[in-house]
Every structure is written in structure tokens, then in C-alpha cells.
Amino acid sequence: MSEKKILTATEQPDTGSALKKSLGMTSADVVFEVRESEIRGRGGAGFPTGIKWNLAGAASGSNKMVICNADEGEPGTFKDRYLIENYSLKLLEGMTIAGYAIGSSYGIIYLRAEYPYLIPVIEKARENLIRENLLGENILGTDFNFDIEIRPGAGAYVCGEETSLIESLEGKRGVPRNKPPFPVNSGYLFRPTIVNNVETFTAVPHIILNGAEWYQGLGIGNCTGTKLFSISGDIENPGVYELPMGSPISELLEASGSKDVQAVQVGGASGATITADELDRSLSFEDLPPGGSVIVFNSSRNMMDVLENFLEFFVHESCGQCTTCREGNVRLLDAVHLIRNGEISSMEELEPFFQLAEVMKISSKCGLGQTSPNCFIDIVTRFIDLPDEKEGE
Amino acid sequence: MMPNISVKINGTVTSVREGVTILDACKTAGVEIPTLCYHPDLSLAGNCRMCLVEVEGWRTLAIACVTPVTPNMVVLTHSKKVRHARRTVLKLLLASHNVNCPECERNKNCELQELAEIHNITSNEYQTSPKPESIEEVSPGIMRDNSRCIMCTRCVRTCEELQSVAVIKPVGRSSSVTISTFMDRSLNDVPCTQCGQCIVRCPTGALFETSEIRPVWEAIENPDKFVVFQTAPAVRVGLAEALGLPIDRSTGQMVAAIRGLGVDRVLDTDFTADLTIIEEGHELISRLKGALVDNDKSVALPMMTSCSPGWIKFIEHKYPELLSNVSTCKSPQQMFGALAKTYLAGKEGIDPANIVSVSIMPCTAKKFEKERPEMRDSGYKDVDYVLTTRELARMIDEAGIDFEKIAEEKFDRWMGDSTGAGVIFGATGGVMEAALRTAYEIITGHEIPFDGLNVEPVRGMEGIKEAAITMPERMATGFEFLAGVTLKVAVAHGLANAKILMDKVQSGEADYHFIEIMACPGGCLGGGGQPIPTSPEIRQKRTESIYAEDAALHFRKSHANPEVQLLYAEFLKEPLGHKSHELLHTHYIKRD
């Protein structure tokens, strides 16, 4: 077994021990430790967390904000739900440490609309922390104040994108903003804001307690830390697994008991789809960006069904703001229908749609439209057997 | 001020101010970037993806209209990548656009059509499903056809940012997103002011005026009908532009062209603009007397102008508690309508039942105004049809009239005289200036002490303008109560500015005596019925034309208008008199 349980270990460090250690450090040293750990955002985009904190800490502007992105909406992802259910004390502690690090006294958890049953869980953790003076006013006798509020989302996938999430928090339509300015300079209500994933915040207490060097050592190769994966599909033991970052996908499949593999979808619908021949590829930002979702398809699955399903999802979830995403996903889905009904029967005829996919990747406003064509490119090129040219020509 | 930096655009190093957008930097460098959602009057949206450019070192293309330049940025504006992306964006937009150009109001004046032509889009491999079909929604002034909408949100931003009305928003998501209203209601059932500012900023034909060209042709072609046209001040500085000619005043050609359509009488709304000044000026003086001499608490001050129907609808919806501050004077259009079927009918010896009263307006809200049930004081519908400047241009085109070559002609008599004061109604501050020219002279017996009668403090494009004029110690007989009084006035254009002023009035922060409000930026010359496109520069040029027309006229003060004098002598008898109240004044209603 290649699992490496840190965040999900049965034995957890004492609640508040990492916060206590942080409060004994300067805020700059806390940011430094996180930066040195080289932890990258666990939501999928992989932006270095320490750099984000450093920018927000240095930004001018008052009432800085710590926002936890718990809008876990990527199909096949459920690792944040698992963390909140079981380790919410660590999540809140991580957010509090972030508040101390960037000079913020207020945090918001933007919780996926479909997770209302987690609200009491978080509320209970918050109350416990307040009782122990680990949250609220004058935390552990210092002059540091920090509190956390839960705000449920409204069910839009795009609100997992940080600027859409911020718009939604402000009570507006959840659509991405133009960048710059970046949230670290002007985020929620124009305040300097950090938005981090549940898993990122949950890792922070461990980094503070054990040090950056320890955290770096957890990863394989250039990767640092461990990573949680939600694995589902045609496997024996679906669930959440914690592995060193950089592990080959084969180890995750082994841990979760998969036998018959036709395709593996890594990083959710917007991630990469690979064949059974590519299982030595690594779960890392350098190879297969690991948002958290891994879906296994066995040989009985029709990959055109899979593709159609993913594209229907994107056609439903595009916010509709920018042209390439709003219109592009519709046309890619149309192409799938044309392949299925035989109107498109060669790669040559698909060429304009590959071109469209490439344009979407570089022209869309946010990560949604930039990554939604991935499934089209991967599945059509790897799993659909079409002749290069139209028959009879 | 930010320092200058060097950027390289298509291989050429250019010096631009740090922080300007790539779009502006390219403009400086003489490189044109296509845009759709960008508009100089509005905030930046960055949603159409038309202005994509390549920036060295960037994984994605940059949006030129929102991305600021940084030192030594290397920009390519027509690389293969950029060209592919732009063509793809255009094809995607066209594939979901109801391409029915010949039937579209914006044919040959459509930004999407123009870009498709420039980028040589002759086939579209993304037309994988049928185009949407027309879905028209009608209100008195504005029609919408969302099948032509490209979701640039210029209308949304106009409604919210310039007008603080905000009745339209994107609704739904992905490809089913539409620009809609609260609960998808009709524009009739939301606080839309019908100003039409959305129309003049729409890049396609998704928004357009509710056309009345057909019934107007039918009236002209009906020998039993006596068709009377009135032309608003701002039309004469917009019509040439609407016909594709350079921006200039064209009063004489306009009159000739309208006569060429077969109209029986071509008359001037300026005439009733002058009349408005007389009535409104006296109303102001009477309110001042009530407040200052009689100490009458029921007199509402500041008095506010009532010429702009978009503004009237706005205040009826948003500040109904201030309605008693609004002048009871009808707008010049409606005064004209009421007189056309009474006074003019008598002068011409025509049965008013046979008169068809048509007004040419720079405005779409005027189409709404003429439908108000209280606008029937002549015993008939005072104004039968309202055409925008654009609709008039279409009729002139259809009639084959060569506007450039046509010889200038004069308005017909009885209601055709105008003064410079009437003309400047078309520009923001114009009503105020005209009112001051007349009111000052009535109460002091002397001309207003401004060089050339030009009341400069109320002119110009500042959103809110203020002026204070102190009355001399010696006043005309009957107006001694105003001796030494400082008259404070304010002018706002664009409803967002009107809102700022109204909030001040409501909070008691403002101590003005008289306020002029025009719903549209720049005043009527920037109206929703004016030529498309609009921009600060275009409105500036139209403004210059308006003031040039004023300066060129023999009479510059409303009370000097000979036909207005005749009207009072023969028909109305006196300002605010019995006949005036019957025909020229009105009331307002609270709207939800």
C-alpha cells in the first residue's frame, strides 16, 4: 500500500497546537514557512499558497479576508466533504493561521449548496474553538481576533472559480471577474483576499507543526506534500485516499482495487483522460494536475457516452459570460452528436472542432472554458477510432 | 500621474503611459483592435473575446480592452493564434445569432456584420444547429429581439451605470443566458424609462425603436389627412449623421426633405420650446413668489424641468414624493400636439379630426409620452405618431431624396418660428440657459449679464453643473421681492446624475431654486432616437452644432419669438392663463 495518511491520519496533533506555535512566530515567519513548504493550491489550479499569502499580506488595504473554497463541484470529487466531516477543527485552525499570517480577522467558508448537512458540523467545531479561545477575540490571550462564517453557495459549478465565488459572496451573479486586479489586491468587497481550498487550509497546521522541510519530504520527486484523491467509477473500493504528491496513478488504482481499466479521468471533467497504457504517469502539477477527482472507466464503458455526459455538464454549467465558453461548449457537444449520428465520420471533418477546442483553451475568461475542451481532445483522439479522411474521397 | 513605459506592439516600440490598457496603447500606436463589448461610455466587461491579442510569455491570449500594459510588454495583434481566435469568436457569435440582415433595423450599421465582413467570414463550420428565430417584445418606445443579442452586456451596463435604472440583467446561464428583466416581465411592466440609451449602445439589432414609419406613410398617402410634422431641436444636428453624412446642423435641408416626403406642414418643436420657457419661467417666478413673499409652505422648490419624458417616468417610479417639484408644463412635443389640433387647426381652417400630428424626436421615450392618457387635451390624441431621427432618415432614404443636394427651405408659418433659446433645448443645460435668458429679463427688465447671452456655467459635459446668479437691487415692477436674491440652479444629464441630485434634494442638502434634468447623456442630442453609434466625442460635435445654430439665429430669446407673441395675443392671452392650463399643463402619477 502506498497511502501516506497525514491529513487523514487517525492520530491528529492537538487542536490549537499549530495555532499556538504560529502565534509565537511573526506573521512573516508563518508565511515564510508555508512558502518554503512549496504547497500548491489543492483545488486544482496549483497556485503556490505561500506566494498568494505573501501578496495578500503585503497588499495595502484594510479588512483583509480569508476565504475557504468549499464549493466542491468538480464531478467525482468528494475529498473536501470528507475533510470537513472528519477534520473540520484542522480546517478552521488552518484558516485562523492564515488570518494571522496575512493580517485578517475574518474568514468565510463558501460551502457547496449540496452540503447543507455540513453546516452543523462546522458550527460545532467553531463553537468548540471559541470555547477554547482558539477562535474569536484575543485568541490565546494575544491581541489577534479571528472569526469564521459559513455562507452556502447556490449550486453553480463556476463559483468554484475564485472570482466567481467572490462575486457570489457579494450577492451578485456568480461570474468570473477580469484579472488584474487579483483577489490578493482587490477581492471580496475590494478587500485584499485569499481564497484557498479546504484541503490547503487543512494541511497548514501540519506544515506549521512539522516544518516546511518535513512537508517537502512527503512528496515524490519535485512534488511536495500529500494529496487527497476521491476515486470513483469501476473500482472495488471507491473513496478518499491520501498519497504522496507525485505518485504514479497505478498506485492509486492499486490502493482502490481496480482491475479492468479502459480509461482514467484525472482532475475531474475538466482534467485529463488517459488510457490504460499511461498508468505510470504521475499525479502532479507537472503531469496530470490532481484536482482531487479520479474516475475509472472499465472496458464495458462507451467513451462517447462519457464525453457526451461531460460536455452536457459544461453546457449546463458555463456561466454564459464569455463567448468562447458559452458558445464553444455547445458546438463541441454538437460535434459529438454529429459523430454519433454518422454525419461526421473522419478526423478531417473534426479539424475545425479541434481548432475550436484550442481557441477555447487560450481565449476563455476563466478556468472553466479554458479546461472544458480537454475531455473532447483527450477522448476523441485516444478513444474514438475515426479514419483520417472521409470515406470515398 | 503614471510614468511612460515602452511596449513593443507588432515589433514596433511605442511609448505609452503605464497602466493604460493594451487597447489604448494600440490606438496610440495606430493599430486597430476589433471590439464588441467595449464602449467608451461604459465600464469594461471583457466578455466578447473579440479584442484578443498575444502577449509574449502568456499562456492565454490577453483581452486588450481590460489588460493594462506593463513595462516592456511584447504584444502581437494579428499573429496566427490571434487571427484564428478572432475568427472563431466571430463564427461562434454568428452561429447563434439570428442572421436576418436585410430585415434588421441595423443592417449596414451593425458592428457584428462589419466585423464579419472585415474578417472575411464567408462560411461557418460551427453552424451545427439552426439559428435562433426572432422573438420580439414590444413596449411603446423600445423593441427587443433577443435572437440578435450577442450578450455583450452594453445595454445592461448602460441601464445601470449611466441611467441607474438597472431593469435589464443577464438571466440564466450558458447558452440559454438572455438579457431579461425581473421575472422576465415586459419592459412595460418594470421601471424602464424608455430612454433608449440601450438602443444607441447595442452593437447589433437586438434593441431598436418601436417603429411607426408605416402609419406615417399611410397618413401622408391619405389625401383626406392633413399631416403636420414637428421637429425637435436635436434632430437638426443628428439627421445628416443618420444619413451617413458628417455631423453637422442641417435645418434647411431637413425641412426641405420632410416637405419632399409629401407632408402638409413642416413646423418646429422649437416654437413650443420657446413657449415652454414662457410658461415655465412664469411658473418659476410664481413659485418663488409663493415661497419668498407669501411664505406658502405648499410651494415646492426647487422646481424641476419636465421636458424629458424619460426623466419624468424615472421620477414617477423612483422619487414620487418629489413630483410636486416638477413643473406642470407639458413637454414641448405635447404642447405642440395640443396646439396643432386647436390653435393651428383654427388658423389653417382644418377640422382637427383630420389632422395627423407627427413629431420627429431624438428620443424613444417620446413614443411613450404621447401614449399617456392625459395627453388628449385637444379633444384628440395630441400627438399621433413619433418618429426617431433614425426613422426619419429611413423615410428620406426610401423617398430617394438626395439630402446632400437638396436646397434649404424654411418652416411653415404659425408654429414654425424658432429662436436660439428653443434650439439649445437639444443640449444639456439648454433649457436652463433659455429659461435664464427670459426669466432674468422679465424680472429685471434687462438682458442677462453674460457675454453674448451665453450662460457658460450651465454648458458642457460635466454630469452635474451648478450656477448662482444674484439679482440686481433694481427690479422690474412687480418683482421687487427678488431684489438681491441669489438664484441657485443645477443641471444634470444622464439619470445616474439625476439620481445624485435627487438624493441631495431629498436629504435637504441641496438649496437650489431650479433644476434641469435630461434623461440622456449630453441632453436630447444624445437621445435614444439619435444616430448610432454614440460616444463622448460624437456628442461633443453635436453640441457644437447646436450652439452654432443658436448663435446663427436672429432671435436668441424665447420671449422674442414673433409667433409665440402672436399665439399669446390671439389665443392664449397670458402665460399660466386659463387656456394655458387647459392645453399646456399636466400632472404626474406615482408609479411602482
Looking at the domain assignment, is residue A9 inside a domain? no
Looking at residue A268, its pLDDT comes to 85
Q: Which chain B residue has its CA at the smallest distance from A315's CA?
A: B174
pTM for the model stands at 0.95
Choose the closest CB to B93 out of A178, A327, A335.
A327
Q: Which residues pair with B517 in a beta bridge?
A: B492
Looking at the domain assignment, is residue A3 inside a domain? no
User: Active-site residues of B: which are they?
Assistant: 280, 283, 307, 327, 366, 369, 374, 524
- Interface contact flag, A355 B126, Cβ < 8 Å: no
Distance separating alpha carbons of residues A27 and A104, to the nearest angstrom: 11
The beta-strand segments (E) located in A234-319 are 239-244, 263-266, 272-275, 293-297
Do residues A149 and A33 share a domain?
A: yes
Looking at residue A231, its pLDDT comes to 96
CA B12 to chain A, closest CA, distance in angstroms equals 24
Q: Which chain A residue has its CA at the smallest distance from B37's CA?
A: A322
Choose the closest CB to B92 out of A317, A328, A365.
A328
Classify residue A261 as exposed, middle or buried by CB count within 10 Å of its CB (0-12, 13-18, 19+): buried
- Interface contact flag, B170 A321, Cβ < 8 Å: yes
- Interface contact flag, B84 A362, Cβ < 8 Å: no
Q: Which chain A residue has its CA at the smallest distance from B53's CA?
A: A363
Residues of chain B found within 8 Å of residue A365, distances taken between Cβ atoms: 46-47, 49, 63
- Interface contact flag, B125 A334, Cβ < 8 Å: no
Do residues A264 and A379 share a domain?
A: no
Residues of chain A found within 8 Å of residue B60, distances taken between Cβ atoms: 361-364, 370
What percent of chain A is helix, strand and coil (3-state, nearest 5)? 45, 15, 40
Q: Which structural domains are found in chain B, ordered by start?
A: 4-78 (3.10.20.740), 92-209 (3.30.70.20), 211-592 (3.40.950.10)
Do residues A165 and A203 share a domain?
A: yes
Distance separating alpha carbons of residues B216 and B563, to the nearest angstrom: 27
Percent of chain A having pLDDT more than 70? Answer: 99
Distance separating alpha carbons of residues A344 and B166, to the nearest angstrom: 45
Amino acid at A356: L
Contact assessment for residue B530 and residue B555, using Cβ atoms and an 8 Å cutoff: no
CATH value at residue A244:
3.10.20.600
Most B-contacting residue of A172, A331, A332, A336 (CB-CB within 10 A), to test interface = A331
CA B492 to chain A, closest CA, distance in angstroms equals 29
Check pLDDT > 80 for residue A391. no
Those residues with Cβ within 8 angstroms of residue A215's Cβ, 6 or more apart along the chain or in another chain: A37, A38, A39, A203, A206, A207, A224, A225
Distance separating alpha carbons of residues A106 and A136, to the nearest angstrom: 10
Q: Which chain A residue has its CA at the smallest distance from B70's CA?
A: A180
Mean pLDDT of A22-50: 96
Looking at the domain assignment, is residue A108 inside a domain? yes
Do residues A69 and A199 share a domain?
A: yes
Contact assessment for residue A246 and residue A284, using Cβ atoms and an 8 Å cutoff: yes
CA A106 to chain B, closest CA, distance in angstroms equals 30
CATH value at residue A138:
3.40.50.11540
Do residues A170 and A236 share a domain?
A: no
Contact assessment for residue A38 and residue A224, using Cβ atoms and an 8 Å cutoff: yes
For B156, the grid coordinates are: 445592461
Do residues A63 and A146 share a domain?
A: yes
Residues of chain A found within 8 Å of residue B168, distances taken between Cβ atoms: none
Choose the closest CB to B88 out of A321, A355, A370.
A355
Looking at the domain assignment, is residue A393 inside a domain? no
Q: What is the span of the domain harbouring residue A264? A: 226-297
Distance separating alpha carbons of residues A140 and A91, to the nearest angstrom: 18
Which CA distances in Å does B52 have to A166, A320, B26, B34, B459?
25, 18, 12, 9, 39
Report which of B68, B77, B62 is spatially closest to residue B11, judged by C-alpha positions: B77
Most A-contacting residue of B44, B47, B89 (CB-CB within 10 A), to test interface = B47
Report how many Cβ contacts below 8 Å link chain A to chain B: 110
Report which of B99, B102, B196 is spatially closest to residue B144, judged by C-alpha positions: B196
DSSP string for A211-227: -HHHHHHHSSTT--SEE
- Tell me what ipTM this predicted complex has: 0.95
**Domain boundary, last residue among A176, A196, A218:** A218
Do residues A293 and A367 share a domain?
A: no
Which CA distances in Å does B95 have to B128, B301, B357, B517?
8, 55, 43, 42
Looking at the domain assignment, is residue A4 inside a domain? no
Residues of chain B found within 8 Å of residue A285, distances taken between Cβ atoms: none
Per CB distance under 8 Å, which residues of A are interface residues toward B? Answer: 156, 158, 173, 175, 178, 180, 315-324, 326-331, 334-335, 338, 352, 355-356, 358-359, 361-365, 370
Distance separating alpha carbons of residues B128 and A17, to the nearest angstrom: 60
Most A-contacting residue of B35, B128, B150, B178 (CB-CB within 10 A), to test interface = B128
How many domains are contained in chain A?
A: 3
Check pLDDT > 60 for residue A296. yes
Could you tell me the pLDDT band of residue A393, with boundaries at 50, 70 and 90? low
Looking at residue B491, its pLDDT comes to 98
Distance separating alpha carbons of residues B86 and B477, to the nearest angstrom: 71
Do residues A286 and A335 share a domain?
A: no
Distance separating alpha carbons of residues A342 and A384, to the nearest angstrom: 13
Looking at residue A392, its pLDDT comes to 67
- What backbone torsions phi and psi does residue B134 show, to the nearest 5 degrees? -55, 135
pLDDT in tens, A47-77: 999 999 999 999 999 999 999 999 999 999 9
Per the omega criterion (within 30 degrees of 0), is the bond before B533 cis?
A: yes
Q: Is B9 helix (H, G, I), strand (E, B) or coil?
A: strand
Do residues A195 and A338 share a domain?
A: no
Looking at the domain assignment, is residue A187 inside a domain? yes
Looking at residue A292, its pLDDT comes to 86
**Domain boundary, last residue among A218, A238, A270:** A218
Distance separating alpha carbons of residues B84 and B95, to the nearest angstrom: 16
Which CA distances in Å does A363 have to A179, B31, B46, B75?
14, 20, 11, 15
The beta-strand segments (E) located in B457-562 are 464-470, 486-493, 514-518
Looking at the domain assignment, is residue A102 inside a domain? yes
- Interface contact flag, B60 A319, Cβ < 8 Å: no
Do residues A292 and A361 share a domain?
A: no
Per the omega criterion (within 30 degrees of 0), is the bond before B68 cis?
A: no
- What backbone torsions phi and psi does residue A353 show, to the nearest 5 degrees? -80, -30
Do residues A154 and A276 share a domain?
A: no
Residues of chain A found within 8 Å of residue B46, distances taken between Cβ atoms: 178, 322, 365
pLDDT in tens, B543-590: 999 999 999 999 999 999 999 999 999 999 999 999 999 999 999 999
SS3 letters across B272-303: HHHHHHHHHHHHHHHHHHHHHCCCCCCCCCCE
Looking at residue B269, its pLDDT comes to 98
A183 vs B294, more confident = A183
- Interface contact flag, B85 A319, Cβ < 8 Å: no
- Interface contact flag, A363 B85, Cβ < 8 Å: yes
- Interface contact flag, B49 A331, Cβ < 8 Å: no
Do residues A26 and A76 share a domain?
A: yes
Distance separating alpha carbons of residues B573 and B567, to the nearest angstrom: 8
Residues of chain A found within 8 Å of residue B59, distances taken between Cβ atoms: 362
Distance separating alpha carbons of residues B35 and B45, to the nearest angstrom: 11
CATH value at residue A331:
1.20.1440.230
- Interface contact flag, B85 A326, Cβ < 8 Å: no
Q: Which chain B residue has its CA at the smallest distance from A361's CA?
A: B60
Looking at residue B1, its pLDDT comes to 73
Per the omega criterion (within 30 degrees of 0), is the bond before A13 cis?
A: no
Q: What is the DSSP letter of A261?
A: -
Residues of chain A found within 8 Å of residue B84, distances taken between Cβ atoms: 355, 358-359
Distance separating alpha carbons of residues B60 and B65, to the nearest angstrom: 15
CA B464 to chain A, closest CA, distance in angstroms equals 27
Q: In a structure prediction context, what are the per-residue pLDDT tens digits for chain B, which is 592 residues long?
A: 788 999 999 999 999 999 999 999 999 999 999 999 999 999 999 999 999 999 999 999 999 999 999 999 999 999 999 999 999 999 999 999 999 999 999 999 999 999 999 999 999 999 999 999 998 999 999 999 999 999 999 999 999 999 999 999 999 999 999 999 999 999 999 999 999 999 999 999 999 999 999 999 999 999 999 999 999 999 999 999 999 999 999 999 999 999 999 999 999 999 999 999 999 999 999 999 999 888 999 999 999 999 999 999 999 999 999 999 999 999 999 999 999 999 999 999 999 999 999 999 999 999 999 999 999 999 999 999 999 999 999 999 999 999 999 999 999 999 999 999 999 999 999 999 999 999 999 999 999 999 889 999 999 999 999 999 999 998 999 899 999 999 999 999 999 999 999 999 999 999 999 999 999 999 999 999 999 999 999 999 999 999 999 999 999 999 999 999 999 999 999 999 999 999 999 999 999 8
Contact assessment for residue B583 and residue B342, using Cβ atoms and an 8 Å cutoff: yes
**Domain boundary, last residue among A195, A218, A241:** A218
| Helices B80-95 & A323-340 angle (0-180, nearest 10) | 70
Q: Sign of dihedral through CA atoms B555, B557, B562, B563?
A: positive
